[in-house]
Amino acid sequence: MASSAGARPSASRTPLLALAILIAALPLALPNNYTYEIAILVGLNAIVCVGLNLLIGYAGQISLGHAGFFGLGAYGSAILAARGGWPASISIPVSLIGVALLAWAIGRPILRLKGHALAMATLGFGIIVSIVLATEDRYTGGPDGMAVPPLASFISGEKTWYWIVAAALIAAVWLARNLIESPRGRALRALHGSEVAAGALGIDAAAHKLSAFVISALFAAAAGALSAHYAGFITPGKASFLHSIELVTMVVFGGMASTFGAVVGAAVLTTLPQLLTVFKEYEMVLLGAVMMLTMIFMPRGLVPTLERAFAAARQISR
Amino acid sequence: MLLRARSLDKRFGGVAALEAVDVAFERGAVHAVIGPNGAGKTTLINLLSGIYRPDSGSISFQNQDLTGKPPHEFAAAGISRTFQNLQVFFNMTVLENVMTGRWLHERCSLACALLRLPSLARAERACREAAAALLDTVGLARWADARADNLPYGALKRLEIARALAAEPRLLLLDEPAAGLNPSETREIDELIRRTAARGVTVVLVEHNMKLVMEVSQHVIVLDYGRKLAEGEPRAVSRDPRVIEAYLGAEACST
């Protein structure tokens, strides 16, 4: 019994390997720069969603303000690189450290809130960030946005960026899955399962919620910084409320408490609007219909529902 | 004394759930807390595990003052508990529930967790084995990899006990461990309590099943309307006329 249980951690590396192979093989199916662009966008959103899923799916805490962290990571590095002339290899880590400190300072008071109150507080934070980014035009260029220097002089083109974002996404998934499969991951899931029982086992709820919040903010900020240097331009729209909602939708759609669900959710909801453009003015209606039908028939989200279906099918065939 | 609580008061709105209750639990014995519904038994357990903060009074455990501390510090001091209304982690497997119970014995830094350092893999294997052994002692070994929400009620009760024991507590608080169980399941709980006490863990039992209380406990505290009515050795308490009137009398009227 103990031996069969002990076999699990090594077996769980297979999905990560499968994801890496998929990402490595994907360029064969990408005909032009436009499709590369979409793939990069998917990767960046997926990094945010993998982090956000730690907070929403595993720790059970909502955030409607993570685009704010995305925007701060992006603008932080952009401002240091463009206005301060810092190389990106320094401006990105400094920006991430700044975001981590801010997330810690904000998370401490607001993570005491629960449910709707927490949603409102994070929503408020996101709105404040996007207002500040739009109005502090001396630094941020205001609503028109600002130009961002490249990551390094020799890094350009969609193909190079594809591999950079791919490496970042695989690192993000690896880190998130390591965390989830550690005692700390169990502590986070315990908070979601029963906060009172978690406390009775010695798990400090406030500290663990805060660490999930800071880690998820860091993932968002890292994706934001990469996105700014990739696009060479950034506008406050990236920090908007709408973007926060999109990110949460991706996590819920792909499946909460599933790291690969977060990746799949980001992939589907980033590419679907592009595919649906052939329907012109019905695009948004169709997108909405697809999402509603998925939630009605797969309330747990895409990946967990499919996992359970496969597990059930395997049992029947046995 | 392992645990000593002095003049605990707890009010909800205007209602006094507990008033001036003193309790002292000796090391290595099985103590029972009994009383009619609404007597304040669960309130007492919630105070002794830090879930509620007393309005006044003090709680000291192994000469450490825990008054007003959060629940996780009560747990860290060596107090573990189960819940009357199950608080199982239904988002985990049975084995993972018990592994989570070992949290206090797993020192795992954030960096160590994120990077999956080799030391963590070793510790996880040890944790898994310890949890599997506990599942074996409560008779749930064959359910180890099942999701907790697939277990029947009686098994969930034992799962909570296994999870609480995984923390290796000095004091184990059991809130109605036999409620809703059939006689054979109750006997298993009885056996489990005896074995736990034999290993040197002090057990405090809140229970309605008088047969179980009389069989396993060495010391009984009777609560009524939030006050301590009597305490002592089980046989003596069951003969106390005040107890018969308040507890057994009340029960006779309600049936």
Measured between beta carbons, the chain B residues lying within 8 angstroms of A203 are 72, 75, 100, 103
Kindly give, in sequence order, each residue whose CB lies less than 8 Å from that of residue A124, ignoring residues fewer than 6 positions away.
A65
* Number of helices followed by number of strands (H, E) in chain B: 11, 10
Contact (CB<8Å) A186/B100: yes
pLDDT tops 70 at residue A4: no
**Residue B223: which H helix or E strand, with range?**
strand B219-224
pLDDT of residue B255: 43
ipTM beyond cut 0.85: yes
pTM of the model: 0.90
pLDDT of residue B254: 47
pLDDT tops 80 at residue B46: yes
pLDDT of residue B248: 61
> Confidence class of residue B78 from pLDDT cuts 50, 70 and 90?
very high
> Confidence class of residue A311 from pLDDT cuts 50, 70 and 90?
confident
R_g over Cα of chain B: 19
pLDDT of residue A203: 96
Question: Which tokens go with B140?
Answer: 């749930």
Contact (CB<8Å) A178/B116: yes
pLDDT tops 50 at residue A1: no
Strands B30-34 and B79-81: unpaired
> Confidence class of residue A24 from pLDDT cuts 50, 70 and 90?
very high
> Confidence class of residue A152 from pLDDT cuts 50, 70 and 90?
confident
Mean pLDDT of all residues belonging to chain B: 92
pLDDT of residue A216: 98
pLDDT single digits (tens) A100-110: 999 999 999 99
pLDDT tops 70 at residue A116: yes
In this structure, the number of other CB atoms found within 10 A of the CB of residue A83 comes to 12
pLDDT tops 90 at residue A308: no
Query: In this complex, which of B51, B104, B132 lies closest to A202 when CB atoms are compared?
Result: B104
pLDDT single digits (tens) A232-254: 999 999 999 999 999 999 999 99
Give the max Cα distance, chain B: 64
C-alpha span between B220 and B30 (Å, rounded): 9
> B interface mutation test: which of A182, A203, A307 has the most B CBs within 10 A?
A182
Over residues B95-115, mean pLDDT: 93
How many CA within 13 A on the CB side of residue A282?
Answer: 5
Q: What domains sit in chain A, N to C, each tagged with a CATH number?
A: 29-317 (1.10.3470)
Over residues B219-245, mean pLDDT: 90
Kindly give, in sequence order, each residue whose CB lies less than 8 Å from that of residue B177, ignoring residues fewer than 6 positions away.
B82, B157, B161, B189, B193, B205, B207
pLDDT of residue B150: 92
> Chain B closest CA to A175's CA: distance in Å?
5
Over residues B29-43, mean pLDDT: 92
The strand pairing partners of B6, in sequence order, are: B58
Q: What domains sit in chain B, N to C, each tagged with a CATH number?
A: 3-241 (3.40.50.300)
pLDDT single digits (tens) A62-87: 999 999 999 999 999 999 999 999 99
pLDDT tops 60 at residue A97: yes
pLDDT tops 90 at residue A259: yes
Query: Which residues of chain B from 98 to 117 reach within 8 Å of chain A, CB to CB?
Result: 99-104, 106, 108, 110, 112-116
Over pLDDT 90: what percentage of chain B? 76
Question: Which tokens go with A173?
Answer: 């998934």
Nearest CA in chain B to A208: B110
> Confidence class of residue A13 from pLDDT cuts 50, 70 and 90?
confident
| B16 burial via Cβ count (<10 Å: 0-12, 13-18, 19+) | middle
Residue carrying structure tokens 């057990």: B203
pLDDT single digits (tens) B114-173: 998 888 989 999 999 999 999 999 999 999 999 999 999 999 999 999 999 999 999 999
pLDDT tops 50 at residue A60: yes
pLDDT of residue B202: 96
Over residues A37-43, mean pLDDT: 96
